[in-house]
Structure 1
């Protein structure tokens, strides 16, 4: 796994150090790793759903999810809620990717999605009053926290373009099923930490590797095709395992989305 010094700007994506991976700020604050992983995944799912409703391009949704993942390796869940960081990430990513959305629209979409998640009948009209102000303050705080913790380095290079180029080089771009499966792996992988552990070219190779196995498509092995793209088999295998594990357990209901909910959350409710 290539490591980029987080204190320096790079044309590559910033990836985590071994120390950052071993123990996160949330773990230091006593939050179980399993809960942290679930909350990260839930935050990313909210971002994806919100992006669809806001008609954001996929690149903006992906950037927002990567920013959320990066942030929680720099700060604890006890300092900023998943709700606020997810909203702030969408607002920030929409500007970074030059597809800005209004604060009011982002708040209304998130409020509606959160009601759905909590099995509350979503309101049809715009959210107003104290609830709206709370969401607005949370969004502004979330955006500023992301910027400060990441040192304003919020550029994210995505693997999708790499994947398309690699598939064309391997002469498999016309296989629509394989391409769609690989594309889905790239999008689903945003709910894991692979985007903050590996460079986009490696993630692209892993998606092709796993999709080819699923669809039983043989790829060149002499020399191994991934070596042509400067990728290790070990890294692809690790990423594939993370992607497959993602599908083993569906997201649970009742996870804490605000700081108040996290403070009163019963850790004994976590699955074994």
Structure 2
């Protein structure tokens, strides 16, 4: 049976990240690593999970904290995983036998997971490119003059950036990040957002826009966009972003 990433597992990744106060980059990196782990399981003969679901999730987040230089104590990561699985129980106190046992298990499993991932913990996310491309477009639109301070940036730009960011988050959740280069994925997310808000592209045509801002062809960005739109409910993201706070 194919090993798929469940909605429950994705929610666990998100909740654990929130409890650990992890930034978007670390949550997204951990989610991408978890998708890669599930892909490894499916490619194994016969397919077999190396760890239970909760351990795999916490291991991926643990590796992500190292990759993104957002260190968290191992015991804190273990306690978060333990609490999510046993919400009725208190956190494990320092020195407890169970905590020590889980720390030893996690240390051993970390190397096993790294081997399963082929020691490839590098994750390039589209989020950084989204900020870079939109800032560049704002500069371009103002005829070479830099946009105002972040707090005073045009509301149009903020709307496009916010929706593109949410689309990128959903692309992470759906395991699409490794399908195309991060810059191409970012351009596809921005194109979706700009069309949703009825914003014109700051170029003669779409081909020129993709060449300037994505350093790729229009056909490639269109392919990335179709992949995202086929996997993500764009309308639900727009509805959510339009709800009053």
TM-score, structure 2 normalization? 0.73
Instruction: Give 1:135 deviation, angstroms.
Output: 4.4
Counterpart of 2:233? 244
CA distance in 2, matches of 1:180, 1:122: 36
Unaligned runs of 5+ in 2: 42-46, 142-152, 238-245
Larger-gyration structure (1/2) = 2
What is the match of residue 147 of structure 2? none
SS at match of 1:122: coil
Evaluate the alpha carbon distance shift between residue 216 and residue 67 of structure 1 in structure 2; reply closer, same or farther with a 3 A threshold: same
Say whether residues 1:178 and 2:160 are aligned partners.
yes
Instruction: Map residues 1-272 of structure 1 onto 2, 5 A cutoff.
Output: 30-31=1-2, 36-38=4-6, 41-75=7-41, 76=47, 78-115=49-86, 121-126=87-92, 132=99, 135-136=102-103, 139-171=106-138, 174=154, 175-220=157-202, 222-224=204-206, 225-228=209-212, 229=214, 230-231=216-217, 232=220, 233-244=222-233
CA contact (8 A) 1:207 1:240 kept: no
Q: How far off is 1:74 after superposition?
A: 1.4
Cα deviation, 1:110-145, whole Å, max 9, x if unaligned, reads: 222234xxxxx5334436867546644553354223
Cα distance in 2 between the residues matched to 1:247 and 1:81: 32
Query: Separation in 1 of the partners of 2:158 and 2:196?
Result: 13
CA distance in 1, matches of 2:25, 2:160: 21
Question: SS where residue 170 of structure 1 aligns?
Answer: helix
- Bigger proportion of residues as helix: 2
Cα distance in structure 2, aligned partners of 1:110 and 1:185: 27
Secondary structure of 1:218's aligned partner: coil
Most deviating of 238-247 and 225-234: 238-247
Instruction: Return the alpha-carbon distance in structure 2 between the equivalents of residues 209 and 217 of structure 1.
Output: 9
Is the alpha carbon distance of 1:92 and 1:37 closer, same or farther for their aligned partners in structure 2, counting shifts above 3 Å?
Answer: closer
RMSD of aligned Cα (Å) = 2.8
Work out the CA distance in 1 between the residues paired with 2:205 and 2:67.
39
Runs of 4+, deviation exceeding 6 Å: none
Distance 1:190 1:142, change over 3 A: farther
Structure 1, unaligned runs of 5 or more: 1-29, 116-120, 249-272
Question: Conserved in 2, the CA contact under 8 Å of 1:62 and 1:190?
Answer: yes
What count of residue pairs does the alignment treat as equivalent?
Answer: 209
TM-score by length of 1: 0.66
Tell me which of the two structures has the higher relative contact order, counting C-alpha pairs closer than 8 angstroms and 6 or more residues apart.
1
Give the direction of change, closer, same or farther, for the CA distance of 1:141–1:162 in structure 2 (3 Å limit): same
